[in-house]
């Protein structure tokens, strides 16, 4: 990666040097006539109706631009999950492009004020630095237009000669990412071409557009499970530290035409108000420029919030940078759509009553009609341009704010008893989870130290406490936990100090979240944009107490700063990571033939399950609908796993007429019969969350999901971490602690009929159920069954009410999956 960039850079210098002996700075600019337009290469202008450029066309265009323009330098970052090249185009004035290493060095000093030793040095950085801006297109591949737009944007910046563009190029360095999910661009482009001119033109492909994550490829920015997230995190938060990141998306077709910040409530309390205000300022500039250009239907202050941590545009806040999101209304991939006034009138979100009614944050509703990819592209081009103009005009301010936020984060917490660090004590018996946790932190630039010698500390377990236990339904919480006595922590433990530039990344990942109770006037829960809680050590089942006092002075401590995850793996005597191979040893105790159901509808929970199995090197076969319809499952499998999916989707699949015939249908009634036969003959059926529904109904199990049909005014838990009471005498929970954090996302809870033949393995805790996030109506969850095993015929069914592998993040509950499968070949325990 690095060497390729340097090679390209050297090649460029040699290329320029070959023409003349005069210094590089005196070379005249390459004539723009020599620079190929997207149209001349693709045969169409990006954004034209019913045209689409696939990934090789996009990378080919950027390579040509790199060769032809001295304002553009393309770097290959590495390979995507399915081995496509990931690229970034640096776009700036020629002299800046020639001095990229210098500007990268300035950014790294600004990002870590400890590298700045005098005011003179600091002021020189402010004077000489450029605003670094990253624009990322179409991470969600069906939101396809921005990937096409990227070529036009690059071309215009490479060729324009007007004073304003020259200012932008002079003062900013743009890192343009044509797509952080190249595999998905091809999945969508191939599908679009295949269905063009058929009744299915413009529909979304039925498969996941990221091999593992689908749409959740933008839910990974603190966990860094995916190759794509890892490569771009390295580019942005190890190397370049952009002051502004713009993530270009599309939303549904029938609402506002374009959303741009300010965001809606609630804000994440760990985001600096300076950043939130800067986000608003840029958003309003974009909105004003769009209005001035005559575009209607621009919406601000609605739907999208900053609460949750794991998106492309949220990661910047935790690196002291500005994250901007835009969401243009979608066409039908690259096919125009028609939107009616009735559809607009029915479209309603937080902050927008409907898409026909003018409001202060939506002053100019769009009047319905035809909506084309070109409309989307034009709005995204204007937004990109606006952001670059701001970046250029307020260059000094952005650099100063960025530096100052990092500097403030280096100050000691003000009060005695405040958290000063988090400790990851040695000897947790969860070595792979410890290595993954620390590896993810290091990969996103968080500083983690190893204790080479013991320390003496006062600790506090950070737990949620109810402030008013009498308020039954609407829990109110604070972070509490009593202090330990001064205690010795052994060498080999790890410590994460808050005094580091990324202080609030650490806080926002390690502390329990308390989502503010937000209800509609009717008393229903107001849905957050994404999940409400994600506390990383809880999800991973790693004990990470807060440190409030350290007896040893800074000079007495023996600490080593960790450079990469392999150092932790070496400490813990784990196999080292080499290349792309996951070094984790298969945790199954014997060979088990596992089938994972993969239906005709892309299902992210299925994708993440494959991801987790691949990461842990557990072999499996993907079972398609036809395989299940064929039957004879016992001859091929010991266990069949259905990940979270509604029973109707599993049984019926895609409806006829919505996709080409080969993608329609589910397992059907014959499939249901074969699954029953499989269990009755001694097979193990495992169901996650929603899929339990199918098992309960089709097998007539003596269990009932008590949360089915319950209104959100009575119970609501939209992505939170809850406590399980675990029966660790059962083989499936063997060796696990009695209390385990589990991921609950509108999940299930069961009651069993009296004297039913049900072995309960875990229940939701009898008290203090919520560990992080939002839980409305705790009484509905307390003591209910979370994980159970039921004997059926010669076989067994294991029902997980929660998501034991949610987004590849909830490692705390993965041992339950491995233990379940390890027991699949043993006789029923009933």
Binding site for Zn ion (CB under 5 A): 140, 143, 249
Residue 181 dihedral angles phi and psi, to the nearest 5°? -135, 70
Q: Checking phi first, is residue 534 left (phi over 0); if not, alpha (psi -120 to 50) or beta?
A: alpha
Query: Within 13 Å and on the Cβ side, how many CA atoms surround 413?
Result: 16
Taking Cα atoms as reference points, which of 710, 696, 782 lies closest to residue 746?
A: 710
Instruction: Kindly tell me which of 251 and 674 has the beta carbon lying closer to Zn ion.
Output: 251
Q: Is 650 helix (H, G, I), strand (E, B) or coil?
A: helix
Instruction: Kindly tell me which of 143 and 638 has the beta carbon lying closer to Zn ion.
Output: 143
Instruction: Kindly tell me which of 57 and 326 has the beta carbon lying closer to Zn ion.
Output: 326
In angstroms, what CA-CA distances link 284 with 99, 277, 745? Answer: 33, 11, 34
DSSP element (H, E) containing 798 = strand 795-800
Q: What is the dihedral of CA 12, 14, 19, 24, to 10 degrees?
A: 70
Q: Enter the tokens of residue 728.
A: 């660790």
| CA angle centred on 157, ends 151 and 162, rounded to 5° | 145
Q: What is the dihedral of CA 50, 51, 56, 59, to 10 degrees?
A: -130
Nearest distance, CB of residue 212 and Zn ion, angstroms: 17
Instruction: Kindly tell me which of 602 and 801 has the beta carbon lying closer to Zn ion.
Output: 602
Q: Enter the tokens of residue 793.
A: 């015929």
In angstroms, what CA-CA distances link 633 with 338, 383, 453, 824, 830? Answer: 47, 54, 55, 14, 22
Instruction: Kindly tell me which of 329 and 701 has the beta carbon lying closer to Zn ion.
Output: 329
Nearest distance, CB of residue 444 and Zn ion, angstroms: 21
Nearest distance, CB of residue 153 and Zn ion, angstroms: 18
Instruction: Kindly tell me which of 143 and 625 has the beta carbon lying closer to Zn ion.
Output: 143
Instruction: Kindly tell me which of 530 and 778 has the beta carbon lying closer to Zn ion.
Output: 530
Instruction: Kindly tell me which of 131 and 250 has the beta carbon lying closer to Zn ion.
Output: 250
Instruction: Kindly tell me which of 302 and 703 has the beta carbon lying closer to Zn ion.
Output: 302
Nearest distance, CB of residue 654 and Zn ion, angstroms: 22
- The pairing of strands 322-329 and 337-339 is unpaired
Q: Alpha carbon 626 to chain centroid distance?
A: 32
Taking Cα atoms as reference points, which of 243, 246, 220 lies closest to residue 233?
A: 220
Beta strands in 598-654 (DSSP E): 621-623, 639-642
Whether the CB-CB separation of 720 and 773 falls below 8 Å is answered with yes
Instruction: Kindly tell me which of 305 and 567 has the beta carbon lying closer to Zn ion.
Output: 305
Alpha helices in 728-770 (DSSP H): none
Q: Alpha carbon 764 to chain centroid distance?
A: 27
Measured distance between the N- and C-terminal CA atoms of the chain, rounded to whole angstroms: 56
Nearest distance, CB of residue 352 and Zn ion, angstroms: 18
Nearest distance, CB of residue 219 and Zn ion, angstroms: 11
Q: Is 17 helix (H, G, I), strand (E, B) or coil?
A: helix
Nearest distance, CB of residue 637 and Zn ion, angstroms: 36
Nearest distance, CB of residue 299 and Zn ion, angstroms: 15
Nearest distance, CB of residue 634 and Zn ion, angstroms: 42
Whether the CB-CB separation of 116 and 397 falls below 8 Å is answered with no
Nearest distance, CB of residue 314 and Zn ion, angstroms: 13
Nearest distance, CB of residue 247 and Zn ion, angstroms: 8
Instruction: Kindly tell me which of 70 and 216 has the beta carbon lying closer to Zn ion.
Output: 216
Residue 176 dihedral angles phi and psi, to the nearest 5°? -100, 120
What does the alpha-carbon distance between residue 194 and residue 205 come to, in Å, rounded to a whole number? 10
Instruction: Kindly tell me which of 137 and 286 has the beta carbon lying closer to Zn ion.
Output: 137
Nearest distance, CB of residue 218 and Zn ion, angstroms: 6
């Amino acid at each position: 990666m690095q060497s390729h960039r340097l090679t390209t850079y050297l090649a460029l210098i040699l290329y320029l040097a070959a023409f003349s002996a005069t210094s590089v700075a005196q070379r005249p600019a390459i004539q723009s006539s020599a620079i190929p337009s997207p149209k001349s290469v693709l045969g169409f202008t990006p954004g034209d109706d019913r045209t689409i450029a696939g990934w090789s066309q996009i990378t080919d265009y950027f390579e040509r631009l790199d060769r032809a323009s001295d304002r553009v330098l393309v770097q290959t970052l590495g390979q995507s999950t399915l081995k496509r090249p990931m690229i970034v185009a640096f776009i700036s004035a020629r002299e800046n492009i020639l001095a990229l290493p210098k500007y990268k060095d300035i950014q790294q000093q600004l990002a870590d004020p400890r590298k700045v030793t005098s005011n003179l040095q600091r002021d020189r950085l402010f004077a000489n630095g450029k605003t670094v801006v990253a624009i990322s297109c179409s991470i969600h591949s069906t939101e396809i237009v921005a990937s096409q737009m990227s070529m036009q944007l690059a071309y215009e910046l490479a060729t324009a000669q007007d004073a304003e563009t020259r200012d932008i190029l002079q003062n900013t360095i743009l890192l343009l990412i044509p797509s952080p999910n190249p595999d998905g661009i091809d999945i969508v482009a191939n599908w679009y071409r295949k269905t063009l001119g058929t009744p299915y033109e413009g529909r979304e492909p039925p498969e996941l557009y990221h091999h593992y994550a689908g749409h959740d490829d933008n839910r990974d920015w603190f966990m860094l499970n995916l190759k794509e997230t890892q490569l771009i995190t390295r580019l942005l938060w190890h190397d370049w530290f952009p002051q502004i990141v713009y993530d270009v998306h599309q939303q549904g077709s029938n609402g506002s035409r374009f959303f741009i910040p300010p965001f809606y409530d609630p804000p994440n309390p760990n985001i600096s108000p300076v950043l939130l205000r800067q986000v608003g300022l840029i958003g309003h500039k974009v909105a004003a420029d769009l209005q001035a250009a005559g575009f209607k239907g621009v919406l601000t202050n609605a739907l999208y919030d900053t609460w949750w941590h794991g998106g492309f545009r949220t990661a910047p806040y935790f690196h002291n940078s500005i994250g901007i999101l835009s969401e243009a209304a979608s066409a039908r991939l690259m096919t125009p759509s028609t939107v009616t006034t009735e559809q607009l009138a029915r479209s309603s979100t937080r902050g927008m009553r409907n898409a026909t009614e003018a409001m202060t944050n939506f002053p100019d509703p769009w009047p319905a009609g035809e909506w084309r990819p070109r409309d989307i592209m034009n709005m995204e081009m204007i937004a990109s341009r606006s952001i670059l103009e701001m970046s250029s005009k307020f260059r000094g301010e952005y650099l100063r704010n960025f530096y100052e936020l990092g500097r403030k984060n280096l100050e000691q917490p003000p009060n005695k008893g405040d958290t000063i660090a988090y400790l990851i004590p040695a000897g947790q018996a969860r070595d792979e989870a410890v290595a993954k946790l620390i590896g993810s932190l290091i990969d996103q630039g968080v500083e983690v130290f190893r204790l080479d010698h013991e320390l003496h500390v006062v600790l506090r377990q950070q737990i949620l406490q109810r402030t008013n236990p009498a308020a039954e339904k609407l829990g109110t919480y604070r972070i509490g936990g009593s202090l330990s006595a001064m205690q010795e922590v052994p060498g080999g433990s790890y410590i994460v100090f808050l005094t580091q530039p990324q202080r609030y990344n650490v806080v926002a990942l390690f502390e329990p979240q308390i989502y503010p109770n937000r209800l509609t006037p009717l008393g229903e829960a107001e849905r957050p944009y994404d999940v409400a809680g994600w506390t990383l050590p809880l999800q991973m089942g790693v004990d990470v107490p807060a440190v409030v006092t350290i007896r040893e002075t800074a000079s007495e401590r023996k600490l080593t700063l960790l450079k990469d995850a392999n150092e932790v793996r070496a400490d813990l005597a784990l196999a080292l990571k080499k290349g792309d191979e996951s070094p984790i040893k298969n945790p199954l105790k014997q060979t088990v033939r596992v089938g994972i159901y993969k239906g005709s509808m892309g299902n992210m929970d299925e994708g993440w399950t494959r991801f987790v199995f691949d990461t842990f090197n557990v072999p499996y076969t993907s079972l398609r609908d036809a395989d299940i319809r064929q039957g004879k499952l016992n001859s091929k499998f010991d266990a069949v796993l259905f990940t979270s999916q509604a029973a109707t989707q599993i049984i019926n699949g895609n409806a006829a007429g919505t996709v080409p015939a080969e993608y329609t249908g589910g397992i059907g009634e014959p499939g249901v019969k074969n699954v029953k036969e499989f269990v009755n003959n001694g097979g193990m059926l495992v169901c996650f969350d929603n899929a339990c529904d199918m098992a309960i109904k089709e097998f007539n199990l003596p269990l009932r999901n008590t949360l089915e049909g319950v209104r959100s005014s009575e119970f609501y838990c939209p992505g939170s971490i809850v406590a399980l009471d675990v029966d660790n005498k059962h083989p499936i929970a063997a060796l696990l602690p009695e209390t385990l954090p589990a991921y609950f996302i509108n999940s299930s809870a069961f009651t069993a009929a009296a004297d039913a033949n049900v072995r309960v393995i875990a229940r939701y805790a009898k008290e203090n159920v919520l560990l992080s996030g939002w839980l409305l109506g705790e009484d509905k969850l307390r003591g209910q069954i979370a994980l159970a095993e039921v004997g059926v015929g010669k076989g067994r069914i294991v029902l997980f009410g929660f998501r034991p592998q949610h987004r590849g993040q909830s490692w705390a509950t993965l041992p339950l999956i491995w233990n379940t499968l390890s027991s699949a070949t043993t006789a029923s325990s009933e």
